[in-house]
Every structure is written in C-alpha cells, then in structure tokens.
Amino acid sequence: IEGLLFSNEYMTDRSVMVGKEAAAPDGNWAGKKIGFLDGEVDAHVADAFYPDSEIILTPTLHSALEALNEGDIDALVAHEIIVRGFKTLRSYSSLRVLGQSALPESGFAFAVHRGDSQLQALIDRALNSLDDEMGHVILSRWHAGHLGAIGQQHIQLLPREHAWIKQNPVVMVASQQYPPYVFKNGEQRWEGLNADILARISHMTGLQFVHQESASTAQTLEMLKSGKAQMNTT
C-alpha cells in the first residue's frame, strides 16, 4: 500500500468458511451469497476464488455473522482465529466452521507510516526476539482461552534507537475494533491479541502505544497517510 511500511509477519492464519449448522460442507457455492469482511480481502480476489458466487462485503464481523444468522448470506469467509474468538465472546449456536476456504493462508503484520522506518525497525527487532513459546502464550490467550503470563524480557537497543525513542516516546496507533485482535472491553479499555503483542513490545523497548479509534479501513489508511497515527495493527 502506497505510503506505508509493514513489519515482519507476527502470525499466519487460515481463512475458513462459516455457515449454518445444517449446511453441507461440500464446497459447492455456485449461485450462493458469500460474505467477506470489507478490508480483509479485495473484492476482485474474492471473485477470482469464487467466480460463480455473489460476493457480499460486510463492514464488521458482527454484521457478517448477523447476516449469516438471519439468512441474508449463505456463508462467510473470514480468518479462523477471528471467527473462533468472536464466537467465544458472542454466542452463535446455529453457526459452525464448515472447513477451510479456497483462499490461501495469509500473514498479519503491523503497518507504519513510510516516514517512520525507525519505528518499523524497532517493531521488527522486538518481534524477532519473541521465541516460539512466547508466541504460543500470546496466541493462546485469544485462541484457546489460556491466560498465560507475559514475561519482562528486554532487548538491547542501539544508541540511535535509544535516541529515537527519547524523541518519540509515544506512538499513536490507528485501531479499528476487530475482536479478538483488538477491541474495547466493557470498561472501554483496549484488549486483544494485537494489544498483547504491543504491550510486549512496550515492555521490551519502552515505547508507549496509544490507541486512536478508527471506524473503518478507509479512515485507518487516511489517519496513517495524514500522520494522525504512526501505525496500525493489521
């Protein structure tokens, strides 16, 4: 995306097909309405993988699951960890994961403004220092309900990195609510998988991350390009 830099991928997730409990997982979606989350996949890409289906873009996972529950769409394609985490937060007993979608696996990364290459480098160093065990602890908090503790490991910063952090101690993050990745809890505090990873990076580097809520993917991109936010979690 023009004007943005991306960190190393911090997690890979597969896309799954979600449908009604009674739906047959036969993979025949010709003539059916398939929902996708707007901003998660390009409409042209979705159409390429499901050329005989009607592609419906939905603004949020909540609206997509409501549409599926009410029969306005026949199936939903979304990332597995998001679907399973959201179903844990809000019960949709009539819906189930039918199987893997036709879309390939994709990775998740942090996006920063192109002018903040030092921030990108700091995030990459912190992500690269996370071992497999810590990665599983963070992931399992939102994938399996495990509440493992996050340690206090630090990384050795270079002099230029110390200087940059001193000049930029607070990083503004454009955050669109996207359970279980990032969302506000009942006390209006930001939580989620991405929030945990940012908290981990904060402990390791001393950077402080402040979330600025965004209502849409388009608003997030505008906040990044205009400099109102320095990064987002995507």
Predicted confidence (pLDDT) at residue 192 exceeds the cutoff of 50: yes
Predicted confidence (pLDDT) at residue 88 exceeds the cutoff of 70: no
The token pair at 99 is 């199987």
The predicted structure's pLDDT at residue 138: 64
**Are residues 113 and 132 both part of a single domain?**
yes
What span, in angstroms and rounded, lies between the C-alpha atoms of 38 and 56?
Answer: 9
Is 172 inside any structural domain?
Answer: yes
Tell me the β-bridge partners of 111: 6, 232
| φ/ψ (deg, to 5) at 11 | -165, 145
What does the pLDDT average to over 69-96? 78
In our burial notation (b when 16+ CB lie closer than 10 A, e otherwise), range 15-49 reads bbbbbeeebeeeeebeeebbbbbbbbbeeeebeeb
**Are residues 117 and 90 both part of a single domain?**
no
What does the pLDDT average to over 30-34? 94
Report pLDDT digits (tens) over 180-189: 788 888 888 8
User: Last residue of a domain, which of 89, 104, 119?
Assistant: 104
**Are residues 56 and 133 both part of a single domain?**
no
C-alpha distances in Å from residue 64, one per residue of 53, 75, 76, 82, 220: 16, 9, 7, 12, 20
Sheet of strand 4-6, all strands in order from the earlier edge strand to the far edge: 4-6, 110-113, 231-233, 170-176, 208-214
User: Last residue of a domain, which of 71, 104, 137?
Assistant: 104
The token pair at 32 is 């059916």
The token pair at 33 is 């309405």
Residue for token pair 């023009």: 2
What span, in angstroms and rounded, lies between the C-alpha atoms of 233 and 172?
Answer: 11
Report pLDDT digits (tens) over 120-162: 999 999 888 877 766 666 666 655 443 333 344 567 788 888 8
CATH classification at residue 196 = 3.40.190.10
The token pair at 223 is 């906040």
Predicted confidence (pLDDT) at residue 33 exceeds the cutoff of 80: yes
The predicted structure's pLDDT at residue 106: 79
Q: How many domains does the chain have?
A: 2
Report pLDDT digits (tens) over 10-24: 877 788 899 987 776
CB neighbours of residue 136 within 10 Å: 15
pTM exceeds 0.75, yes or no: no
Is 5 inside any structural domain?
Answer: no
Determine the structural domain holding residue 157 and report its residue range. Answer: 109-233
What span, in angstroms and rounded, lies between the C-alpha atoms of 157 and 151?
Answer: 18
The predicted structure's pLDDT at residue 156: 77
Q: What is the mean pLDDT of the chain?
A: 82
